[in-house]
Structure 1
Amino acid sequence: MATDLVRKYRLLFAVPGFRLSAVAALTAKLQPGMYAVSLLALGSHHLDYGGATLVVAAASFGAMTTPLRGRLLDRYSYAAVLWPLLALHLGTLLLFVAAARAHAGLTALFCLSVLAAVSLPPIGTLTRVMWRKAVPGDLRTTALALDSVLADFGFMIGPVAAVALARSITPDAALLVCGLLVSVAVPLGLRGAAVRAPKEAPAREHGAGPLRSAALRRVFSVAFCFFLGVNVMEVSLASYGRKGEVTLAGGALLSLIALASMAGGALLGGLPARAAQRLIHPTVPLGGNAVCLLLLAVASFVHPFLVPLACLPVGFCLGPCFASVYGTAADHAGKGEEAETQSWVAGAMMAGGGLGAAVGGWSLAHGGLAGALLLASVAWAAGAVCGARVPRLSPAVEGPRVASEASAE
C-alpha cells in the first residue's frame, strides 16, 4: 500500500506543469487560512472587536461572488481574467491598510473588505479545472486528494502564521503577506496552465449555467450540508472543556482532526483508480463521517479520554469529503462551465459554513457539546442522502492514461 501511494504521487508530480501548479495551489490554500484572522487582527487594532468581526463578515459577503469569477474564467482566457483581478485586489488591500492606519471608520473598512474579496483571483478554481484537463484519468482522484491535503494544511498553518505575523511585526503584516501569496500564486498558476491545459472555446452559453443541471444542484446541496456540518463541529469543539470560550484543548482537537484529514485525503489518492472511484461518491465519505461524529458524541458522554481517539476517524473521513464533492461536481460539469461549476461548489460551502457557525453556537448553548455534534452529524447525513441521488458517472479520460506502471491497476 505504501509503495502504491508513493508511486501514484510520483507519477502525478511527473505530469508536465503539475509542480508549478501545485506550488500555486499551496500558496492559494495558505491565503484563505490566513485571510480572516489577518483582517481580524488589523481591524481589532483600530476598531472594537465587534466592528472587526463585521469587517471579516464583509469579506464573506464578497466571497459569495466566486461563481461570477468562475464564469469569467470559462468565458475568457485565464490571463485576461486573473491579471486585472490581481491588480484590483492588491490595490484594494493597500487601500485597506492605508485606511486602517488613518483610523478610517467602520463603513470605509467594510466596503474595502467587500471589494477585496470580490476581486480575489480564484486560483483554487483554476488549479482544480487545470488538473482535471491536464492529469491522466487514472490519476485524477490522486490530484483531488492532494487538493484536499493542501486545503487542510493551509487551514491548519494559516491562522497560526497570521497571528504570529500580526503580533511579532505589525498588525497589517499578515494582510500584506496574504497579498504576497496571491501575487505568487497567479503567475505560477498561469505558467502551469500554459504548459499542459490550453484554454478551450466555451460551449453555447446558458443564463443559468450549472444551476440548470439537476445533478449539479444536488451536488451543491451536498456541499452546503457538508460545510454546515463542518462549521457546527468546529464551533462546538473549539470551546471543548469550557462552554462559550475558545480553549487550548479545543484547538488541539481541531488540529488532530486536521492532521487525520490530511492522512485520509493522502491515502485516498494512493488507492487503485476503481476503488477510489467507488469511495469518492458523496454518499460514502459523508455517510461515514455522520456515523463517526455520532461515535464522537457518545465518547463525549462516556469519558474525556475517548474524545481525542474518536476525533481520528472523523478527520480521516473528512479529507475524502472534499475530494468527493469537488470531483463529483467536475464529473457532471458541462463543457465550457467547468470553472463556474467549481465556483458554485465553493460558494455553496461558504453559505453552509456561515449558517453552520451561527447554528453551531446556538446548539452548543442549548444542547451542549453532544447536541451540537448530533446536529453536525444530521447535516452530514442529509448531505449523504442528497449525494445518493447524484448519478454515478464513469468520466471519460481526457488525455492519455499513465503509461504501463499506472495502467497495471
Structure 2
Amino acid sequence: MVGPYRTLFSMPGAKGFVIAGFVGRAPMAMLGIGIVLLISALTGSYTTAGAVSATTAVAFAIAAPLSGRLIDRFGQARILIPLALVHGAALTGLMLCAEFGAPRWTLFAFALVTGGAATSLGSMVRARWSHLLSGRAGLHTAFSFESVADEVIFVAGPALTAGLAAAVSPYAGLVVAGVCAVAGTVAFALQRGTEPPVRTGPARSGSPITIPAVALLAGVFLAMGAVFGSVDLITVAFAAERGAKAAAGLLLGCVAFGSMLSGLWYGHREWALSLRRRFAWALVVFAVGFAPIAAISDLRLMAVALFFAGLAISPTIITIYALVERIVPAHLLTEGMSWLSTAVGFGVAVGAWAGGRLTDAFGPSDAYLFALGCALLALVTGAVGGALLHLPEGGRSEAGSAAS
C-alpha cells in the first residue's frame, strides 16, 4: 500500500507544500468543536454553542467560492496570506469577547469574520497536485492521500481540542487552531515553486456551480456536511450525558480513523469500476453505516459504531473530488473545488444548528436520527441525479468546458 504514496513525494517541492497544507488545514477539525466546547461551557446552552459554530460555518461556506475565484485569477500567495492574517485576528477577537463577557452579539460578529476569512486549504493542495500531475495516473493516489490526511486531522483534531479544553482551558484548543491556521497557510503560500500558474479562460467564464454535475455533487456534500456537523455536536452531548465529556474527541476520532483506513486502502488500488459506480456504492455504505448510532447508549459500543460509520467517508470524498477535477475547466478548478467546501460548510452549519436544537429538546440519542436522515438524503440525492455523472473515460468533460 505504501509504494504508490512514496512515489508522490519524490516530486520536487511536494513534501513542503503537503506538510504546510496539513498544518494549515488542521483547524478545520478543531474550530467547530472548539467553539462548541467554549460557548457551551460559558452559557450552558448547546443551542447557543451550535448557533455560533454554525455562523462560522455559514460565513466560510459563502466566502469559499469567492476566495477560490480570486485565487484562480490572481494566484494562491497573493490571496491566502491576507486571509490567514484576518482569520487569526478574528479568532483572537472571538476568544477575547468570550473571556471578558462582551455582549453575545459580538461572538456572532467575530464568528462571521473568522469563518469568512478561513481558507479552503484542502482545495488549494489538491489544485497543486492537479497541476503537478496533470494527465498522469498518480492523481487518484494524490487525492486519496489528501483525503487520508484530512482524516488524520479529524482523528487528532477533536481529541486534541477536547483534551486541551478539559485539561488546560476551554480556550486552549482554539488557540492551537489559530496558530496552526496562520502559520501553516502562510508557509504554504510562500512555496511558489509548486503554485499553479494563473490560467486564463473566456472573458465571461461562468461559475462551476452552474454545471449540473457539479451542482449535484455539491448537493451530496451539503447532506454529508449536515451529518458531520450534527454528529460533532450531538456526540459532545452524548459523552457529557454519560459523565465523560472529554471522551467526545475520542468518539469523533473513531469516525475519522475508520475513514482514514478506508482512504489508504482505496487510494492504493487500481479500480476497474467507473467513478460513477464507485460514487454510488460509497453513498450506500455511508447511509448504512450511520443507521445503528441512534440505538446505542454505551460509550464503547458507540465508538465501534462510529468507526464503521466512517469507513465510507474517504472513498466518497475522494471520488467526488476526482469527478470535479474531470468536469471543471482548468482555469476554474480552485473555485470548482471550493464549491464543495461551500456545500459542506452550509451542511455543517445546518447540522450544528439542528443538532443543538434537537439535543436540547430530545436528548442526544434521539438527535442522532437527524444525522441518519441526512445520510439517507445524500444517498437519495446521488441516486436521483446519477444520470448527470456520465463522463468520458479520458480528459475533462466537454460539458464542463462548454459550461465555462
Q: What does residue 225 of structure 2 align with? A: 227
C-alpha contact 1:222 1:325 (8 A) present in aligned 2? no
Task: Specify every segment of 5 or more residues in structure 1 that has no aligned partner in the other structure, as ranges.
Answer: 398-409
1:334 aligns to what? 329
| Matched residue, 1:86 | 84
Q: Residue in 1 aligned with 2:19?
A: 23
CA 1:352–1:183: 2 relative to 1, 3 Å = closer
Equivalent position amino acid for 1:202 in 2: T
Deviation at 1:70, TM superposition (A): 0.9
What secondary structure sits across from 1:91 in the alignment?
helix
Check conservation: 2:21, 2:125, Cα contact below 8 A. yes
Deviation readout 1:12-56 (Å, 9 max, x if unpaired): 121222211221232133212111233344445665645554432
Contact 1:38 1:163 in 2 (8 A): yes
Corresponding residue of 1:178:
177
Q: Is the 8 A contact 1:56 1:113 kept in 2?
A: yes
Deviation at 1:291, TM superposition (A): 4.0
Equivalence map 1:252-401=2 (5 Å): 254-272=252-270, 274-275=271-272, 278=275, 281-293=278-290, 296=292, 300=295, 313-357=308-352, 362=358, 365=362, 368=366, 375-386=373-384, 388-389=386-387, 390-396=389-395
Distance 1:42 1:332, change over 3 A: same
Percent identity of equivalent pairs: 21
Residue of structure 2 in register with 1:9 after alignment? 5
CA RMSD of aligned residues (A): 3.6
Is contact 1:12–1:143 with CA below 8 Å preserved after alignment? yes
CA gap 1:276/1:10 in 2 versus in 1, 3 angstroms: farther
Please show how residues 149-228 of structure 1 align to structure 2 within 5 Å.
149-192=148-191, 194-206=192-204, 208-228=206-226
How far apart, in 1, do the equivalents of 2:44 and 2:290 lie?
A: 36
Offset, 1:133: 1.2
Output the TM-score relative to the length of structure 2: 0.81
* In 2: Cα distance, 1:306 partner to 1:41 partner: 23
Question: Structure 1 residues 205, 99: CA separation in 2 closer, same or farther (over 3 Å shift)?
Answer: farther
Instruction: Report the Cα distance in structure 1 between the residues aligned to 2:176 and 2:240, rounded to whole angstroms.
Output: 33
Closer/same/farther in 2, CA of residues 232 and 78 from structure 1, 3 Å limit: closer
Contact 2:13 2:193 in 1 (8 A): yes
Taking the TM superposition and a 5 Å limit, the aligned residue runs for 1:12-51 are 12-43=8-39, 49=45, 51=48
**Hey, what's the Cα distance between the residues in 1 that align with 2:138 and 2:90?**
39
Q: Is the alpha carbon distance of 1:332 and 1:114 closer, same or farther for their aligned partners in structure 2, counting shifts above 3 Å?
A: same
Q: 1:90/1:260 Cα in 2 relative to 1: closer, same or farther (>3 Å)?
A: closer
Report if the CA contact (8 A) 1:229-1:379 is conserved: no
Corresponding letter in the other structure for 1:157: A
Work out the number of aligned pairs and report it.
388
Cα distance change of structure 1 residues 14 and 275 upon mapping to structure 2, 3 Å threshold: farther
Cα 1:107–1:324 change in 2 (3 A) is same
Displacement, 1:319? 1.5
Unaligned runs of 5+ in 2: 397-404
Instruction: Kindly state the Cα deviation for residue 266 of structure 1 after the two structures are TM-superposed.
Output: 0.7
- What is the DSSP-based 3-state SS (H/G/I as helix, E as strand, rest coil) of the residue aligned with 1:337? helix
Question: Match of 1:203, SS?
Answer: coil
CA distance in 2, matches of 1:162, 1:207: 41
Matched, 1:139 2:135: no
**Rg (Cα) greater in structure:** 1
Which range moved further: 358-367 or 10-19?
358-367
